[in-house]
Amino acid sequence: MIGSFAIAWLGRLSWHAFPQAAVTRGAAVGIVLGALVVLTLLTYFHKWRWLWHEWLTTQDPKRIGVMYVIVAVAMLLRGGSDAVMMRLQQAVSVGSNNGPFSPDTFQQVFSAHGTIMIFFVAMGLMFGIINLVLPQQLGSRDVAFPFMNALSFWLFTSGMILINLSLVVGEFSAAGWLAYPPLSELKFSPGVGVDYWIWSLQIAGVGSLMSGINFLVTIVKNRCQGMTMMKMPMFAWSVFGSMILVAFAFPILTVTLTLLFLDRALGMHFFTAGAGGNAMMYVNLIWAWGHPEVYILVLPSFGIYSEIVATFSRKRLFGYTSMVWAIGAIVFLSFTVWLHHFFTMGAGADVNAVFGIATMLIAIPTGVKIFNWLFTMYRGRIRFTSPMVWFMGFVFLFITGGVTGVLMAVPAIDFQVHNSLFLVAHFHTMIISGVVFGFFAGLTYWLPKVLGFRLHEGLGKIAAWCWIIGFMLAFFPLYILGLMGATRRLDHYDASLGWQPLFIVAGIGAAVIVAGIVCQLLQLAVSIWQRNERRDLTGDPWNGRTLEWSVPSPTPFYVFTKLPVVTERDQFWADKQAGKKQGGYEDIILPKNSGVPIIIGGLSFLVGFGAIWHIWLLAIVGLLGIITALIVRSMNDEPEYVLTAKEVERLENARRRKLKEYAVYE
C-alpha cells in the first residue's frame, strides 16, 4: 500500500536524491539561498505586482528580449564556473594529485558546461538579440505571433530551471553534452542525470522550434511597406537563414531525445547495444541536428557583424547580394556535412571523402563573408569602438579556427586528432569568436537602444581585450596538447607526459577570461550608475543606418508612431542624408498581456520533472494542465487592444518633455 503510494507520488525521488558531494552540495545551497534572497527582496519591496504585469505576462518582444538576455547571462556565469572548474582540475590533477573533483563530478561538470553554453547561453543570447532588434529593423512593431513568442521564452526558462535543479535534486548527466549511447542508456547511466539532460533540452527545444517558426513568418510577413527581401538589413537575412535551419533541424532533435527517453523509460531498443538497437543511428541523428545548430548560432552573429562593420566604417555593406547568396549556400551546405563529426566511426573511405569535401566547400561562402567585411572596412572611415574590437578579435580568431577546421575536414588528419584537445580548441575557437563575440558585440551595439543610455566604452574595450587575450592563452595550448596526444575529458594524467605547464597556461587564460566577464558586469553596473550622464537623447548614438535607430531610445512600447515606408537598403541613412524624417501618428494594435505562457512554462516543468523521476501522475497532470490552458486561451476572442493615434501623440509629447529634462545633464 505504502509502496504503491510512494511510486505514484514520488517515483524514483527519495531522500538520497539530495546532493552528497561537497561541491554539488555547495552549489545546491547557493542556488536555494539565491532564489530565497530574490523572493524575499521582491516581497519586501512589494514588487510582485510590478513583476507580474510588466515582465512575467508581457508579450512585448523588447521585454522578452531583455528577459532572454538576463537568463542567458546568468547561465553564462554557471557555464563559466563549470569551465573554470575543468581548467582547475586539469591544471593540478597530475601524478599523485587527483585534483579537487572526483571523476564522476568532473564528468557531470563537462556535460553541464557544453549543454548549458549551447542551449541556454548561445541560444538565449541569440533569441534575446533577435527579439530586441529584428521587428524594429523590419519596420514592424512586433513578431508575427506575440503569444507564441512569450510561450517560447517560458519554455526556454522552464528547461533552464530544470537543468539547474539537477544540482539540487538528483544529479546531472555524466555522458557528455550530446549523451552518446550506449553510455547514456539505462544500463550504463541508471541515474536521473541523462533524464535531466533529455527533458531540459526537450522543453527548451520545443520553445526554440516555435521561435524559429515565429521569426520565419515575421520576416516573410511583417516587413514594412516597400521593404523587399533584397532591401532587408543583413541581420534580418542572417536570422532568416538561421530560422530556416531551426525549422528543419529542431524536429530532428525532438525525435532523437524522445527516442533516447523511450529507450530509457519504456525499454525500447533504438540505440541499445543489444536487441536490434543501433547506437550509430543516434550519432547520425544528433549531428543531423547538431551541425546545423552550429550555423543556427553563427549566422545571426554574422548578421550582427555585418551591421556593425557597415556602421563603424561609415560605408554601406560591401557585396550585399553575395552576402545573401553566402547565407543561402551555408544554409544548404550545413545539412550536408554532419558526418564529419564521426569520420572515425567507419562509414568507409568514399563516404568520408564526400563529407570531407562538402566540409571544405562550406569554407567558401564563409570566406566570402569575411572578405566582404574587410572590403566594407577598406577605405571606410573606421571608428574603433568596442563593438569593432570584438569584431577585429573575431576576424583573427575565426580564421585560425577556420584553418584548423579545414585541416580536420581531411579524414586522414581527423583520424589523428579525433577526440583530442585539438578538436576542443577548434570548436571553441569557432563558437567563442564566431558566436559569443558576435553576441557581445551586438549587445554593446544595441543596448543603448534598449536601455536608453550608452555603455561605458573604456570598460567595454578592456573586457573585449581580456576575452581575446584570455581566449588565446586558454585555447592555443590546447591545440598543442591535442597534437601531443591529450584526449578530451581527461580528469587525470601522468606527470611524465609533460603536459602540465601547458594546462597551467590554459588555466591562466581562463582566469583572464573571467576578468573579462567581471569587466563586462562592471561595465553594465557603472553605466547604470551613470545613466543620467549617459542618456542617449537622439536615439541614434552610433550614427546608424537601419530603421531601429530612427526611433527614440529606449524604444517606446509602440516602437514607431507610424510604420515607416522604405525605398532604400539603408533607409535611415538615406533619410538622414536627404534630411528627411519619417513620422506621423496612426492607430496601433498591440497584444494584451497574458499569464498563459508562464503558466504553460510552469506546467511543462512539472511534465519534465515528473518524467525524470518517473512520477507519472505529476507528468499527466502537467500535460492535462497544458491542454486546458491552451483551450482557455483559445476562448479569448480579444487578445489585442487598440492604442489610438491621439493617445500615441500624447505619449510622444510627454516623452519629448522628459527628454528636455534629461538634456540638463548634457
Partner 1 sequence: MSEVTTLDLKRVEAEATDKTTFGFWVYLMTDCVLFASLFAVYAVLHGNTFGGPGGRELFKLPYVLVETIVLLTSSFTMGLAMLALQKRDKQAVVGWLLVTFVLGGVFLGMELSEFHAMVTEGNSWRRSGFLSSYFTLVGTHGLHITVGLIWMAVVGIFTLKKGLTDTVRKRLTLLSLFWHFLDVVWIFIFTVVYLLGSLNI
Site membership for partner 1, residue 144 (CB under 8 A): yes
Site membership for partner 1, residue 221 (CB under 8 A): yes
Q: Which range, of 50-58, 120-128, 229-237, 280-288, touches partner 1 by CB under 8 A? A: 280-288
Burial of 267 (0-12, 13-18, 19+ CB in 10 A): exposed
Amino acid at 602: G
Amino acid at 581: K
Cα Rg of the chain, angstroms? 25
Place of cell 582566469: 511
CB of 256 to partner 1, least distance (A): 8
The C-alpha angle with vertex 313 and arms to 312 and 317, in degrees rounded to 5, equals 105
Q: Which range, of 71-79, 125-133, 459-467, 626-634, touches partner 1 by CB under 8 A? A: 626-634
Site membership for partner 1, residue 217 (CB under 8 A): yes
Gap between the terminal Cα atoms of the chain: 74
> Of the candidates 55, 248, 371, 662, which one interacts with partner 1 according to CB under 8 A?
248
Whichever of 248 and 375 has its CB closer to partner 1, that residue is 248
The answer to whether the beta carbons of residues 109 and 82 sit under 8 Å apart is yes
**Site track for partner 1 across 556-595, x = CB under 8 A:** ------x--------------------xxxxx-x------
Site membership for partner 1, residue 184 (CB under 8 A): no
Query: What span, in angstroms and rounded, lies between the C-alpha atoms of 65 and 133?
Result: 9
Whichever of 533 and 587 has its CB closer to partner 1, that residue is 587
CB of 287 to partner 1, least distance (A): 13
> Of the candidates 469, 645, 651, 659, which one interacts with partner 1 according to CB under 8 A?
645
Q: Which range, of 166-174, 276-284, 351-359, 464-472, touches partner 1 by CB under 8 A? A: 276-284
Site membership for partner 1, residue 265 (CB under 8 A): no
> Of the candidates 251, 328, 541, 602, which one interacts with partner 1 according to CB under 8 A?
251
> In terms of Cα–Cα distance, which of 109, 88, 117, 121 is closest to 167?
109
Query: What span, in angstroms and rounded, lies between the C-alpha atoms of 534 and 544?
Result: 18
Cell readout for 579 is 534630411
Site membership for partner 1, residue 252 (CB under 8 A): yes
> Of the candidates 133, 174, 285, 326, which one interacts with partner 1 according to CB under 8 A?
285
Whichever of 236 and 486 has its CB closer to partner 1, that residue is 236
Please give the residues from 468 up to 507 whose contact with partner 1 meets the rule CB under 8 A: none
Amino acid at 634: S
Q: What is the DSSP letter of 548?
A: G
Site membership for partner 1, residue 229 (CB under 8 A): no
Q: Which H helix or E strand runs over 85?
A: helix 61-92
> In terms of Cα–Cα distance, which of 5, 46, 137, 60 is closest to 640?
60
Number of residues interacting with partner 1: please give it, by CB under 8 A. Answer: 52
CB of 272 to partner 1, least distance (A): 8
Whichever of 251 and 602 has its CB closer to partner 1, that residue is 251
> Of the candidates 135, 277, 405, 482, which one interacts with partner 1 according to CB under 8 A?
277
> In terms of Cα–Cα distance, which of 19, 26, 157, 154 is closest to 81?
26
Q: Which range, of 71-79, 105-113, 433-441, 642-650, touches partner 1 by CB under 8 A? A: 642-650
Alpha helices in 116-192 (DSSP H): 123-137, 146-168
Site membership for partner 1, residue 348 (CB under 8 A): no
Site membership for partner 1, residue 649 (CB under 8 A): yes
CA distances from 116 to 167, 341, 431 (A): 13, 20, 13
Query: What span, in angstroms and rounded, lies between the C-alpha atoms of 286 and 118?
Result: 14
> Of the candidates 247, 360, 621, 659, which one interacts with partner 1 according to CB under 8 A?
247
Whichever of 450 and 629 has its CB closer to partner 1, that residue is 629
Place of cell 539537477: 166
Whichever of 116 and 227 has its CB closer to partner 1, that residue is 227
> In terms of Cα–Cα distance, which of 257, 349, 221, 242 is closest to 301?
242
Site membership for partner 1, residue 278 (CB under 8 A): yes
Whether the CA torsion 631, 632, 638, 640 is positive or negative: it is negative
Q: Which range, of 265-273, 389-397, 614-622, 658-666, touches partner 1 by CB under 8 A? A: 265-273
Residue 545 CA to its chain's centroid (Å): 26
CA atoms within 13 A on the CB side of 617: 9
Contact residues toward partner 1 (CB under 8 A) are 144-145, 209, 212-214, 216-217, 220-222, 247-248, 250-252, 254-256, 258-259, 262-263, 266-270, 272, 274-278, 281, 285, 288, 562, 583-587, 589, 627, 631, 634-635, 637, 642, 645, 649
